[in-house]
Amino acid sequence: MKVSEAERRMPPLGAGRRAAGLALLGWLDDERAPRLCRIIGSPGAGKSHLLAWLVRGCTMGTTPSGQRIHGVVPAAGLSLRGAVWTLGQQFNLVAHSPGELLAAIGRDDRRTVICVPEFDRAAEPGRLVSELLNPLLEMPHVRLLVEASQTPGFEAVPEPAVLDLDEPRWTDREQFASWCAEAGADGGGYPSPGRALGESPTAEDVAALVSRIPAAADGSRDLRAADEELLTKLWEVAGRAADLGPLATDPVLYALARPTAVTTAVEGRDDILARAWQAAGPGLIDEPDPGVRAAVLRTRLLGVDDKAAAALTDVPGGWTTRWVSWGRGAVEMAAAGPGPYTSQLLVADRDGTVRTYDSGTGRRTGVVVVPGPKPLRGLAVTSGGTVVLLDSWGGTGLLAPDQSWPGLEPHQLTEAIEAIREGAAELTTVAAVGRLPGAAPAFGDAAGAVHWAEPDEILSAQLHQGPVTALAAVALGGGLSEPDLPLLLSGGLDGTVQLWGPASEPMSEASDRRDCPVTAVAAGATAAGALVAAAWSDGLVRVRDLGGAGGVLDIRPGSEIWSMALIGTLLVLGMPDGLATIDLRRRGGP
């Protein structure tokens, strides 16, 4: 697509900067241009305004592939950690460190353009270049567009393209004068929009900012009555080595300010609040709702500093975490129905060790003896109390209960599993329905199919393009005189979530779809109908109420979700660093 055609799709660009805008579009479109472009100019030259225009126009669905911008890192006041979290969300992954982010971007060799406005105002410009931007430029498929007046020391592209907005050739004088007349600006400021507008930044110290926080009845500062802008400025000043005093220990101040400023200010600290913030960071960095930020931070503080966690319960909005269990990654989990594991949650770690937890309190209750533990990719508990294990190589194992419960016996389960295996590709997921005593577990496979065993046949449905990565099952009441019916929920490497009742044809459209793989799903039944949840590789969890009001709740706890279970309206999240349970009846639940 020609630049003139693409320009017609772009939003208006004022201050006479059409030539500068065309130059940037030309750089994006030119495969022979240096992979680094620097935007320079004196303060007020309009660098950030120009890049904001370019980002708006080059991130739309109609943007040609040769002009698309894939990631934006607003660097003003941003630390290295904040930049990593920000880019991680935009690239659909949970990245806590530069290495994790760089590895993910390096694995995908498609053209990638990243824009870095206001680099000169970054909190850690040296680390940002040496640990993130230079390593990105070492990848031949990555391009960077950086607003940097000072020479930042890029080594991978020593001779970048440079657009200097102080040069008059990039600003049409007549159009600039017309813009000044409309804006009431001084045309003598040509070619600098900031100088024409008479912009002059002001600075305040911590004491002045604190004095503007409304006072509570007891004379203390009422953070909840202060606006976000004021509290964010307080953190920005703190990020420049100022001391917040007692306010630094108030978790409410963390939740009510914009996350980028908090992230920069706590960089290098090793206290409880800073560690909790760093653990939750990927789920906080772009979250606009203070109530949700409080919920995420409170989740990380539970079991670590319960007093601090309690202080966040009064921040309105968000959702409520009931209990947590930090320390061991939860690779797979299964909620047990009636039987030997009643009211218990079975959780497998990386090594294949299976532990049991009280589902209501999170108290660890024991260990399931697994002969020769091996890494698992699936775990389920049948109505008869048999634990079904699916190992990382697609092999299955059964752990029979000590006493019999209503349900299929192990030899019947073995026959059903072997019948499924005959017509399936490599098995990748397993799920069982506790309320259907005569049902065998369902399986997903590497070819995208889901399989259900009936007494006299195997029912299969092709639900995904690529492997099935997650599977859950639930029984829904068929009516007063009708039997319960199974509902299967599957997620795939293709990013889709599918619903299938084996007694009917699969739905023609996916229940949900996003541009990254599904990592876990869960399904449960309430009085109003089915409740389903799905998690993707970028750490987003989406809960849908298929009955009742049909509400949707999105949750980002700050870690990738490896496994999930629904116990009534309690959603259990299995993460690399432990378990957290969300009470869906409280504040914002579906």
- Per-residue pLDDT tens over the stretch 333-349: 998 766 777 888 999 99
- Per-residue pLDDT tens over the stretch 511-567: 999 999 999 999 998 877 789 999 999 999 999 988 766 689 999 999 999 999 999
Whole-angstrom distance, CA of residue 334 vs CA of residue 129: 44
**What pLDDT was estimated at residue 553?**
92
- Do residues 146 and 152 make contact, with C-beta atoms less than 8 angstroms apart? yes
Nearest 5 degrees, angle CA 294-CA 323-CA 560?
Answer: 70
Q: Average pLDDT in the 292-309 region?
A: 95
- Per-residue pLDDT tens over the stretch 244-271: 778 888 999 999 999 999 999 888 888 9
**What pLDDT was estimated at residue 478?**
57
Residue 53 CA to chain centroid, in angstroms? Answer: 26
**What pLDDT was estimated at residue 44?**
85
Which is more confident, 58 or 338? Answer: 58
Kindly tell me if the per-residue pLDDT of 322 is higher than 90.
Answer: yes
Which is more confident, 200 or 435? Answer: 435
Count of Cβ atoms closer than 10 Å to residue 235 Cβ = 26
Q: Average pLDDT in the 396-419 region?
A: 87
- Among the listed ranges 62-66, 104-108, 163-167, 420-424, which one has the minimum average pLDDT value? 62-66
Q: Quickly state the pLDDT bin for 588 (edges 50, 70, 90).
A: very low
Hey, what amino acid is at 422?
E
Domains along the sequence of the chain with CATH: 3-197 (3.40.50.300), 212-318 (no CATH), 325-583 (2.130.10.10)
**What pLDDT was estimated at residue 201?**
57
Q: Average pLDDT in the 310-331 region?
A: 89
- Kindly give, in sequence order, each residue whose CB lies less than 8 Å from that of residue 415, ignoring residues fewer than 6 positions away: none
Kindly tell me if the per-residue pLDDT of 454 is higher than 50.
Answer: yes
**What pLDDT was estimated at residue 404?**
73
% of residues, the chain, pLDDT over 90: 60
Which is more confident, 170 or 199? Answer: 170
Whole-angstrom distance, CA of residue 253 vs CA of residue 262: 9
- At which residue do the structure tokens 């116990």 appear? 567
Count of Cβ atoms closer than 10 Å to residue 164 Cβ = 16
3-state secondary structure of 74: coil
- Kindly give, in sequence order, each residue whose CB lies less than 8 Å from that of residue 565, ignoring residues fewer than 6 positions away: 333, 334, 335, 345, 522, 571, 572, 574
Q: What does the block give as tokens for 417?
A: 């599993």
- Per-residue pLDDT tens over the stretch 178-235: 988 888 888 888 888 888 887 765 667 778 888 888 888 887 888 888 999 999 998 8
Which is more confident, 589 or 496? Answer: 496
- At which residue do the structure tokens 């963390």 appear? 254
What helix, strand, coil percent values describe the chain, rounded to 5?
30, 25, 45
**What pLDDT was estimated at residue 408?**
83
Q: Quickly state the pLDDT bin for 4 (edges 50, 70, 90).
A: very low
Torsion of CA 37, 42, 47, 48, to 10 degrees: 120
Q: Across the chain, which distance is largest between two alpha carbons, in Å?
A: 90
**What pLDDT was estimated at residue 491?**
98
- Kindly give, in sequence order, each residue whose CB lies less than 8 Å from that of residue 219, ignoring residues fewer than 6 positions away: none
Report in angstroms the alpha-carbon separations of 231 from 132, 160, 287, 317.
Answer: 29, 38, 16, 19
H helices within 30-170, ranges in order?
47-57, 80-90, 98-107, 125-128, 134-137
Sign of CA dihedral 577, 297, 249, 322: negative
Q: For 298, which DSSP code?
A: H
Does residue 191 have a cis peptide bond before it, meaning omega lies within 30 degrees of 0? Answer: yes
- Among the listed ranges 56-60, 449-453, 483-487, 573-577, which one has the minimum average pLDDT value? 483-487
Q: How many residues does the chain have?
A: 590
**What pLDDT was estimated at residue 272?**
94
- Do residues 161 and 23 make contact, with C-beta atoms less than 8 angstroms apart? no
**What pLDDT was estimated at residue 342?**
80
